[in-house]
A and B are shown apart, each in its own frame.
Chain A
Amino acid sequence: DGGITQSPKYLFRKEGQNVTLSCEQNLNHDAMYWYRQDPGQGLRLIYYSQIVNDFQKGDIAEGYSVSREKKESFPLTVTSAQKNPTAFYLCASSPLAGGTDTQYFGPGTRLTVL
């Protein structure tokens, strides 16, 4: 089945540790995105990538890093510089960057800092 997978579903981190969230898609989509969701709020864009080996900062990129070495993979690293990382993280992809293509989402990773 085609889709977007994220792992792990739940992640616990100690303060001062970096953690990496996985996002894989087999939809052959060009564009991929990372969003953060806090309780009672909508989604905010962290980073996005339109093509392999290229990515751009979103609205809240500080304390996060990404890579796009393969078309199907877009991992997100939450660094120790992120002051309040506890949140729900959603990865998405769309066929093309720009235009009004629909973004499709993965199941999400819930990160908790202990």
Chain B
Amino acid sequence: AQKITQTQPGMFVQEKEAVTLDCTYDTSDQSYGLFWYKQPSSGEMIFLIYQGSYDEQNATEGRYSLNFQKARKSANLVISASQLGDSAMYFCAMRGYNTDKLIFGTGTRLQVFP
């Protein structure tokens, strides 16, 4: 069975600082994808970044990077130079190559303060 674990219910970070949101996963699939989504208070799930299990380089998208450690089964999201608009819930998710289901963690609420 696949599982995503996010152990940080809430995180605080000062504006312009970097923050790491933790995500560990469990799967028996050899090929899978890892995703991070942002959910602001409006409710919409916004796709941030994707990492494939066979990708050798860590994924980066602007201020977002994914610290992928396959042996440890971790896929932490790093947000550099935090902005007030980054305050939101962040969800880690996984999808096996042969499945149609996206498995979500319980999320981390990030609050950025001035």
Bitwise, B88-108 to A at CB < 8 A (1) or not (0) is 000101010111111011110
Collect the chain A residues with CB atoms within 8 Å of residue B31's CB.
100
A48, A92, A102 interface centre (most CB from chain B within 10 Å): A102
* A98 interface residue (CB < 8 Å to B): yes
Contact of B44 among A45, A50, A100, A107 (CB under 8 A): A107
Contact of B102 among A40, A103, A107, A110 (CB under 8 A): A103
Q: Which residue of A lies closest to B6 (CB)?
A: A42
* B42 interface residue (CB < 8 Å to A): yes
Partner-contacting stretch, out of B12-20, B45-53, B62-70, B71-79: B45-53
Is B106 touching A40 in the complex (CB atoms < 8 A)?
A: yes
Hey, which bits of chain A sit against chain B, CB under 8 A? 31, 33, 40-45, 48, 50, 56, 58-59, 88, 90, 92, 97-100, 102-108, 110
Hey, which bits of chain B sit against chain A, CB under 8 A? 4, 31-33, 35, 37, 42-47, 50, 52, 91, 93, 95, 97-102, 104-107
Other A-B pairs beyond A40-B107, A100-B97, A105-B44, 13, CB < 8 Å = A33-B100, A33-B102, A40-B106, A42-B105, A42-B107, A43-B91, A48-B100, A90-B43, A98-B98, A103-B95, A103-B102, A108-B43, A110-B43
7 interchain pairs, CB-CB under 8 A: A48-B101, A58-B101, A59-B101, A99-B97, A100-B52, A100-B95, A104-B47
